[in-house]
Amino acid sequence: MLIALILVVLLIIGTPVGVALGIAGLAGLLDIGGMHFASLAPSKVFNGLNIFPFLAMPFFILAGEIMNHTGITSRLVLFAEALVGHFRGGLAHSNMVASVFFSGITGAATADAAAFGRTLVPAMVAQGYTRSYACAVTAAGSIIGPTIPPSGLMVVYGSLMGVSIGGLFATGILPGLLICLVCMAIIAAMGRRKNLPKAAEGPSLRLILSHFRGSILALLMPLIILGGIVSGIVTPTEAASVAVAYALFIGAVIYRNLSLKALFRMLIRTAQISAVIYLIIGAASIFGWWLSFNQIPQAIATFFSGLSDNPDVILLMIIGLLLVVGMIMDINAMLIILAPVLVPLTEQIGMDPLHAGIIFVLALNISLMTPPVGACLFVLSSVTGEKLERISVDLTPFLIGQLVLLLVLAFFPEVTLFIPRLLGY
């Protein structure tokens, strides 16, 4: 109980998540057996990070940085606007469609939120949207990024739990598209009530084809990544390095707007982002080992099983726990700590490993836009200057819609497993 209290207090006072987890884990080792056990900390950090597929994350991050710098973001937005910009609330719809396109580049919700927070939010405000609503739309669409492949969270989950990363990538395609459709339906339903702007001109096939040609190189990236993994030509880690090579080729040879100075800045930024993620993973490995040593995962599993033996009820409890804890903890840390606790429960109730994986990922992604620790909300608030509370109010309909979709996907596994089964997983 003392160790949990230390962790909570450190998080409340604003200690970085990785540092808080490390201190709490080290305190747990000292509590078990003094300095002898504390000396195990470095080996636990090393073992927690010594997983080959983890190398994919910095490569995917770097590929996204390069593609952003080359102007791919603006090209994707223009193509999305040509497709759906003529509807009422056209730029809001374009935001969602662009999030689908952009997801194949970064695989990170916060990257999408930051990119569109600087580009689409000001454009929406200029067209007459309130800034809080523009931020809410951007936040709702940002979680499409880590759902449709490539997804950093899927790499972590697959590596930790021994689940096919390629299979998880395939499983995320349909749910990601459904998130987009649900959010667009909410935008359409609220269009008249909020008096969302409507374009004066209708769709233009010429404009669609023109912007498609301009963005086709970006649209090919997810096909190259997933196609290479599914066909067995490359592993997920190798696919990530191929993505970097492809992005470098586009920037240096096709668009010719990638300088060595800019590349150096992107390498530094990639190292900074990766270091934060790896610090959290390494520190969470210490804390996770302390939990296992004290058989806390088994106690939680026994507690859940004791409440009910109904698989549907157990699944609801798992989802509820993920959503609640996700409101107060970093999702990477939470995944490392809770996955070993909850995945055995999903096995007990007969869930397919890929189905369980996508439910974990979706629940954690949704927590990225729930206060008080929703990372996407903080990114958008800092980028746009909008108050977090106002964004949260306008985000509520989207949050409800995505929670309903999560439950549908949880209790109808055929929806999520259709594509991976089609691809042979």
Q: Are the C-beta atoms of 135 and 394 separated by less than 8 Å?
A: yes
pLDDT of residue 373: 65
User: Can you give the residue ranges of every domain in the chain?
Assistant: 2-422
218-221's contacts with Cβ under 8 Å and 24+ in sequence apart are 218/67, 218/72, 218/75, 218/76, 218/101, 218/104, 218/105, 219/76, 219/101, 219/104, 221/63, 221/67, 221/104, 221/105, 221/246, 221/247
DSSP 253: I
Q: What is the pLDDT of residue 200?
A: 59
Beta bridge partners of 198: 88
202 secondary structure, DSSP code: -
How far is C-alpha 172 from the geometric centre of its chain's CA atoms?
A: 11
Residues in the chain with pLDDT < 50?
Answer: none
Report pLDDT digits (tens) over 186-242: 999 988 788 888 765 667 788 888 888 888 887 887 778 778 877 778 887 888 888
User: Which residues are CB-neighbours of 415 under 8 A, at least 6 positions away?
Assistant: 174, 175, 178, 408, 409
197 vs 127: CA distance, rounded Å: 7
Q: Which residues pair with 88 in a beta bridge?
A: 198
Q: Could you report the per-residue pLDDT of 26-83, keeping only the tens digit for each?
A: 888 888 776 656 677 788 788 777 777 778 778 888 887 887 777 777 787 788 888 8
